[in-house]
Structure 1
Amino acid sequence: MSKRYGDRRAVDDVSATIQAGAVTGFLGPNGAGKSTTMRMIMGFDRPDAGSALVEGRRYADLDAPLRTVGALLDAKAAHPGRSARNHLIALAATNRIPRRRVDEVIGMTGLESVADKRVGGYSLGMGQRLGIATAMLGDPGVLILDEPVNGLDPEGVRWVREFTRQLAREGRTVLLSSHLMSEMAQTADHVIVLGRGRVLADAPISEIVGSASGDHVRVRSPRVGALTAAIQSPDVTVTPVGDDTVEVRGVGAQVIGDAAASAGIPVHELTPVRASLEEAYLDLTKDAVEYRTEVAR
C-alpha cells in the first residue's frame, strides 16, 4: 500500500503478510507510517494505491468485522460519559454478540473494579485495558494492537505480553506495535520494521537480532595487551573499554580462551555478549529517523 498526505509520502509501497499463530512486532520511528498502515487495514484511511486484506477480504467487505478482527488504535475511543460496561454492551448489541461476552472480556482484562465507572475518569492504563477488551469482544481471529502497553505499569505490561503470546498459541494472528524494544524482544516471534514509510526489515526476530553488529566478547585480563596480540588477525577487532578490559569482535569466546591458555595468560572475564533487538533496530533505522535528538554528554 501507499498513502500520501500533501507532499509527504506516509506509506511508500509497503507490502507484508502477517502470519497466524505468531506475534508480529510492528516497529519504526515516530512518523514511520505504522499507525497509518494500521488505519488503512481497518478502513479508517484509504490507500492511494494497493489494498489491505484481512482473511482475503477488505475490512469493509467482512460480514462480521468485530468477530473477524479486533483492533486497539486509540485508547480514548470510548465515550467519556459512558461506563466501560455500557460501552461494551452497546458494541455487543450492534454486532449480535451475546451479552455474557461483555462480562467475559471485563474479567479477561482486569476491569471488574472499574467497569461501572465513567471512562472519562480512567487512567491511561485502564483505557488501554478497555481498548483490549473492546478488541476481544467478538472473539476475533485477528488482533491489531497499536501501542497497547502505553501507560501500563510493569504488571500490566507483563499481562499484555503473556496475553498476546497466549492468543498466538491459540492460532490467532497478532500484529503489535510498540516502542519498548526490551518488551518486544520478549513478545514477538516476527518483526516488521518501517522507516520513512518503507519496509526496512521483515523477518523472524532471531534473524533481525542475528544480523546486528553488536555481537562481541567481553574480555578482562591483567595482561590484556599480550592477549590482544595472541588473538590479533585481519578479521578480529579489539576495542579497549577499560585499563584491563576489551571488547572483541570477529572471534568467539572459545577461541579466545584457548589462545589465552596456550600463552599462559590469566583471564578474569570471558563473556559472550549478544546484540539486542534495540541495537538491531537502531542500526536498521539510523538513516530513517525524522525527529532526531542529541544526547547530552
Structure 2
Amino acid sequence: MHPTGVIEVNGVTKRYGTRVAVDDLSFTVSPGAVTGFLGPNGAGKSTTMRMIVGLDRPTAGEVLVNGRHYAEHAAPLREVGALLEAKAVHTGRSAYHHLLAMALTHGIPRRRVEEVIDLVGLQEVARKRVGGFSLGMGQRLGVAAALLGDPATLILDEPVNGLDPEGVRWIRTLLRSLAAEGRTVFVSSHLMSEMALTADHLIVIGKGRLIANASVAEVTAIGRSVRVRAQEAARLRDLLVGPDVTVDAVEPGVLQVNGLDSSAIGRVACEHSIALDELTPITASLEEAFMDLTKDAVEFREAS
C-alpha cells in the first residue's frame, strides 16, 4: 500500500547517448512538506522531473507516484499537477480556454477552471490570449494548470521565474498551504534564499547523483562553526584542536571552531576550568551550504 502523493525514485539512471544525465538516483518525496530540489545547472533536476511525469523514460530504474508509473494513472491530472515549462501553451488561446480544454479531457467541471483562475490571480486577463502574457503571468497560468485536477502531488520546476516580489511571496504562501493540507509539494529553484524560506526538506543532486537528502536545518548545519570568546583562548585552542576539528583565532581572545558543537566546547572548557564569555553557533546560509555541498559538481566555473 502506497501513501497518497508519495514520489519514489528508485535507482534511476538516464543516458543520452554517451552522456549520463542522471546516475543511479534514489530518493522519496513524502506528503505534508515542501521538498526543495536543488543542484547546479546540468545536475539532472529537470530530467528527473520529466521522468517522474513520464516525459522521459529511465534507462534504468523506475519512478513511481502513488505506487504507479505516471502513465498508468487513469486521470493523471487528478493525481499529479506539474509545471515543467510555462511556455508550453498555445499562444492563440486565452488562459480560460487553455485550462478549459485541459479540464474537459479529464472530466473536470468548468467551475474548477474559474476557481484556479481566481486562486492564481488571473481574473482580469483570463479571456486574453496567452501570447501576450508576461513571463510572470505565464508562470501563474502554469501553476493554475498544475492545480486544475486538485491533485495530491505537485511538481513545479522553477515556479518563481519571472515573478515580482509580491508574486514570489504569493507562491511561497501557496506552496506552504498546499503542503499543510497534506499534499506532496516537490519544487526546484535556483533561489537559495527563497528555498530557505519555503522548503522543509531538501534533495540536492550534482552530476546526476544524490548529494544530500535532509531537512533545511540539517543542510545548513553542514560546515557550521562556533564563535568562542574565552579568558584563556590560546589554551582552549590547544585543547580543542583535533583530527576533525579546526580552530582559528579571529581576533584577540576570540576563536572560531569548526567540527564541534557548542555543548562539546562548553564541556571541554568546564573540565579545564576555562571561563567562557561567549559561545555562539554560526549557522551557514542555505546558499553557503549549497555552494559547499556542490563545489565538486559544478559544470561551469568562473576563471580565476
- Per residue, is there more strand in 1 or in 2? 2
Over 3 Å counting, the alpha-carbon distance change for 1:139 and 1:273 in structure 2 is: same
1:61-140 mapped onto 2 (5 Å cutoff): 61-140=72-151
Q: Is the Cα–Cα contact under 8 Å of residues 84 and 156 in structure 2 kept in the other structure?
A: yes
Structure 2: distance between partners of 1:84 and 1:61: 28
Find the partner of 2:208 among 179, 197, 201.
197
Q: Report how far residue 118 of structure 1 moved.
A: 1.4
Q: Is the Cα–Cα contact under 8 Å of residues 214 and 276 in structure 1 kept in the other structure?
A: no
Bigger mean CA offset, 285-294 vs 33-42: 285-294
1:160 paired with 2:171, answer: yes
Task: Find the counterpart in structure 2 of residue 11 from structure 1.
Answer: 22
Q: Structure 1, residues 45-72: CA drift from partner, whole Å, max 9, x if none? A: 1111111111011111101100110000
Identity %: 61
CA RMSD of aligned residues (A): 2.5
Task: Find the counterpart in structure 2 of residue 233 from structure 1.
Answer: 238
Q: Structure 1, residues 221-250: CA drift from partner, whole Å, max 9, x if none? A: xxx9x7632532342544455789764444
Q: Is the Cα–Cα contact under 8 Å of residues 214 and 279 in structure 1 kept in the other structure?
A: no
SS in 2 for 1:46: coil
Q: Is the Cα–Cα contact under 8 Å of residues 228 and 238 in structure 1 kept in the other structure?
A: no
1:161-180 mapped onto 2 (5 Å cutoff): 161-180=172-191
1:275 paired with 2:284, answer: yes
Q: Report how far residue 28 of structure 1 moved.
A: 0.5
In structure 1, list runs of 5 or more residues that go unmatched. Answer: none
Q: Which residue identity is paired with 2:225? A: D
Q: Which residue identity is paired with 2:87? A: K
Q: TM-score, normalised by structure 2?
A: 0.85
Q: Which residue identity is paired with 1:86? A: H
1:215 paired with 2:225, answer: yes
Q: Which residue identity is paired with 2:19? A: R
Over 3 Å counting, the alpha-carbon distance change for 1:57 and 1:263 in structure 2 is: closer
Q: Report how far residue 214 of structure 1 moved.
A: 3.2
Q: TM-score, normalised by structure 1?
A: 0.87
Over 3 Å counting, the alpha-carbon distance change for 1:263 and 1:194 in structure 2 is: closer
SS in 2 for 1:31: coil
In structure 2, list runs of 5 or more residues that go unmatched. Answer: 1-11
1:27-38 mapped onto 2 (5 Å cutoff): 27-38=38-49
Structure 2: distance between partners of 1:270 and 1:15: 39
Structure 2: distance between partners of 1:208 and 1:214: 10
